[in-house]
Amino acid sequence: MRKLIIIKYGELTTKKGNINLFINTLSKNIKAYLNEYSYEEKHDAGRMFIIPEDNDYDEILDILKHVFGLHEINLGYETKTKDLDSLGNEILELLKDKDFATFKVQTKRSDKTYPINSMDISRKMGGIILKNIPNLKVDVNNPEIIVNIEIRKDFSYFYFDVIDGLGGYPVGVAGKGLLMLSGGIDSPVAGYMAIKRGVKLEAVYFESPPHTSDQAKDKVLKLAKKLALYNNTYLKVHVINFTPIQEAILKNIPHEYLITIMRRMMYRISKRIALMENCKILVNGESIGQVASQTLNSMSVINHVVDIPVIRPVACLDKLEIIDIAKKIDTYETSILPFIDCCTIFVPDHPVINPELSKCEEYETLIPYEDMIKDAIKNKEVIKVELKEQNNHSDLL
Ligand code: ATP
Ligand code: MG
**Within 13 Å, how many C-alpha atoms sit on residue 258's CB side?**
19
User: How many of the other CB atoms lie within 10 Å of CB of 70?
Assistant: 25
Long-range own/partner contacts, residues 251-257 (CB < 8 A, 24 or more apart) = 252/363, 252/366, 252/367, 253/363, 253/364, 253/366, 253/367, 254/363, 255/348, 255/349, 255/350, 256/348, 256/350, 256/351, 256/352, 257/352, 257/355, 257/359, 257/360, 257/363
Atom of ligand 1 nearest to the CA of 263: 16
Give the pTM: 0.92
Pocket test of ligand 1: the residue of 180, 266, 283, 288 to mutate, having most ligand atoms within 8 Å of its CB, is: 180
Q: What are the pLDDT digits (tens) for 269-315?
A: 999 999 999 999 999 999 998 877 888 999 999 999 999 999 999 99
Cis bond upstream, residue 313 (ω within 30): no
Give the environment of ion ligand 2: residues with CB less than 5 A: 186
Predicted pLDDT of residue 351: 85
Query: Domain residues of the chain, as ranges?
Result: 2-164, 176-396
The Cα 10–Cα 86 span in angstroms is 30
Which sign, positive or negative, has the C-alpha torsion 364, 370, 372, 373?
positive
Fold topology of 2-164: VC0802-like (3.30.2130)
DSSP structure class, residue 172: T
Q: Which residue has the least CA distance to atom 27 on ligand 1?
A: 206
The Cα 333–Cα 326 span in angstroms is 8
What distances in angstroms separate CA 304 from CA 38, 131, 267, 307, one per listed residue?
Answer: 50, 72, 9, 7
User: Cβ(187) to ligand 1 under 6 A?
Assistant: yes
The Cα 184–Cα 394 span in angstroms is 22
The Cα 145–Cα 6 span in angstroms is 18
Is 177 within 8 Å of 279 (Cβ atoms)? yes
Residue ranges in the chain whose pLDDT is less than 50: 391-397
Residues 6+ positions from 1 with CB-CB distance below 8 Å: 77, 78, 79, 90
The Cα 248–Cα 326 span in angstroms is 34
Q: Of 187, 263, 201, nearest to 230 (Cα)?
A: 201
User: Phi, psi (5° rounding) for residue 322?
Assistant: -65, -40
The Cα 145–Cα 104 span in angstroms is 7
- Beta strand 156-159 with 70-79 is antiparallel
CA 173, 206, 281 angle in degrees (round to 5)? 25
DSSP bridge pairs for 102: 137
The Cα 357–Cα 179 span in angstroms is 25
Predicted pLDDT of residue 344: 67
Q: Which residue has the least CA distance to atom 30 on ligand 1?
A: 180
Atom of ligand 1 nearest to the CA of 342: 27
Maximum Cα–Cα distance across the chain: 87
User: Cβ(284) to ligand 1 under 6 A?
Assistant: yes
Q: What are the pLDDT digits (tens) for 13-49?
A: 666 778 888 999 999 999 999 999 999 999 988 899 9
Residue type, 127: G
User: Phi, psi (5° rounding) for residue 49?
Assistant: -125, 135
CA gyration radius for the chain? 27
Pocket test of ligand 1: the residue of 343, 346, 347, 381 to mutate, having most ligand atoms within 8 Å of its CB, is: 343
Q: For the packed helices 57-64 and 19-33, what is the interaxial angle rounded to 10 degrees?
A: 130
Query: What stretch of H or E contains 190?
Result: helix 186-196
Which ligand is closest to the CA of 343, given by its number?
1
The Cα 269–Cα 372 span in angstroms is 10
The Cα 329–Cα 324 span in angstroms is 9
Is 380 within 8 Å of 273 (Cβ atoms)? yes
CATH superfamily, domain at 176-396: HUPs (3.40.50.620)
Q: How far is the CA of 68 from the centre of ligand 2 (A)?
A: 25
Predicted pLDDT of residue 195: 98
